[in-house]
Amino acid sequence: MIINKEKLNKEKIFGGFRKRKHENMQSRNRKEENENKVNSSSPVLLSFKSFQNELDARHDKHERLVKLSRDVTIESKRTIFLLQRVTSVPEVEDLLNESESKFEVIRQKIKQIAQELVGEDMHQFHRAFSPGIQEYVEAVSFQHFIRSRSLISLEEINKCLVFTPKKEEQPGDSECSTLSNSEAENQNQQVLCLQVTPTDYLLGIADLTGELMRMCISSVGNGDVETPFEVSQFLRDVYYGFTYIGNTGPYEVSKKLYTLKQSLAKVEDACYTLTVRGSEIPKHMLADVLSSKTTMIQPEEAM
């Protein structure tokens, strides 16, 4: 019977819709009251009420994670820009230290993501925070390359994303544990961690190659003739790695393979020019030669 009444009301809405707006509003209000009545009586509506809460909670969490992920992305991008200055600054150590403090801020954000995911299936919300994590991988691996000219391993990245409240447990990662130490009081001794998935790692590394290409070209501009060859060798290794994975990886990985090939071609091209013409052109002129080359390459990059 209640349903019937509600239906009648609904039809009034449809009826009144074309006639008078005012009446329409009224009947809508009445209908809402009516629905409330149905709520208390019908088990179906009661259970939908609980579904509402469950879905809302899930969506809210998703939104919070998206926001955190965006923050991580922005900060990581800034760190990469900072690190790109490495070629023009004599004090590389200072820059690296500065980037390290930026990473601390980013890890704080990632810690918040980990906090959101406590007791959840991380894969359920993975799509929400995956872009941020990829950007972080890119930034961290870039810094690692500048420091040691090698590829950071997935394990090393993950090690820094374990947030333990006790300092003693993580002597190796002082910067990580001091971070969490400050919040240890309200964190009631819980170990938080966020593990980067192999796919996110791969995608981040694929992006890294683009940054390395930029670094390579601009380092030549500064008369550095060592870096291009190192980068070229490194990119070649990474490219072999990606072809080794081939299509066992997810779809996004194979998409990035094409861009990776382009970056590699540019770097190899720069090395070629350096080798062929390096002996002919005086060192201070080299920058001009290669920078004219980069302007040639630039429009291609936009595509």
Partner 1 sequence: MSVGSMFSLIQASLSSDQDIREEIRKVVQLLEQTAREILTLLQTVHQTSGFKDIPNKCQKARVHFETVKTLMVELKTKFPIDQYYRFNEHWRFVLQRLVFLAAFVVYLESETLVSREVVAEILGVHMHRDKGFHLDIEDYLSGLLILASELSRLALNSVTAGDYSRPLRISSFINELDSGFRLLNLKNDSLRKRYDGLKYDVKKIEEVVYDLSIRGLGKADKADDGKGEAVGK
Chain positions contacting partner 1, by CB under 8 A = 3-4, 6-8, 11-12, 14-15, 35, 38, 42-45, 47-49, 51-52, 54-56, 59, 119, 121, 123-124, 126, 150-151, 153-154, 198-199, 201-202, 234, 237-238, 240-242, 244-245, 248-249
HSE, CB side, 13 Å, CA atoms: give it for residue 96.
Answer: 13
**Residue written as token pair 């329409």:** 24
Calpha distance 291→288 (Å, rounded): 5
Q: Does the annotation flag 120 for ligand binding?
A: no
Known binder of ligand: residue 138? yes
Give the shortest CB-142-to-partner 1 separation in angstroms. Answer: 15
Q: Which is nearer to partner 1, 136 or 234 (CB)?
A: 234
Q: From CA 225, how far away is CA 66, in angstroms rounded?
A: 42
Shortest reach from residue 163's CB to partner 1, in Å: 19
- Between residues 192 and 290, which has the closer beta carbon with respect to partner 1? 192
CB-nearer residue toward partner 1: 51 or 81 = 51
Closest CA to 157 of 260, 76, 229, 248: 76
In the bound state with partner 1, the residue whose beta carbon lies nearer, of 129 and 242, is: 242
Q: Do the beta carbons of residue 187 and residue 59 sit within 8 Å?
A: no
Please check whether residue 260 is in contact with residue 239, taking contact to mean a CB–CB distance below 8 angstroms: yes
In the complex, the smallest distance separating the C-beta of residue 85 from partner 1, rounded to whole angstroms, is 25
User: Closest distance between partner 1 and the C-beta of residue 123, in Å?
Assistant: 4
Within 13 Å of residue 243, how many CA atoms lie on the same side as its CB?
Answer: 8
Closer to partner 1 by CB, 75 or 210: give it: 210
Tell me whether residue 247 or residue 279 sits nearer to partner 1 (CB atom): 247
Least distance from partner 1 to the Cβ atom of residue 43, Å: 8
Q: Which one, of 260, 258, 294, 259, lies nearest residue 274 by Cα?
A: 294
Residue 122 Cβ vs partner 1, minimum distance, rounded to whole Å: 8
Binding-site residues sit at 138, 211
Binding-site residues for Mg(2+) sit at 138, 211
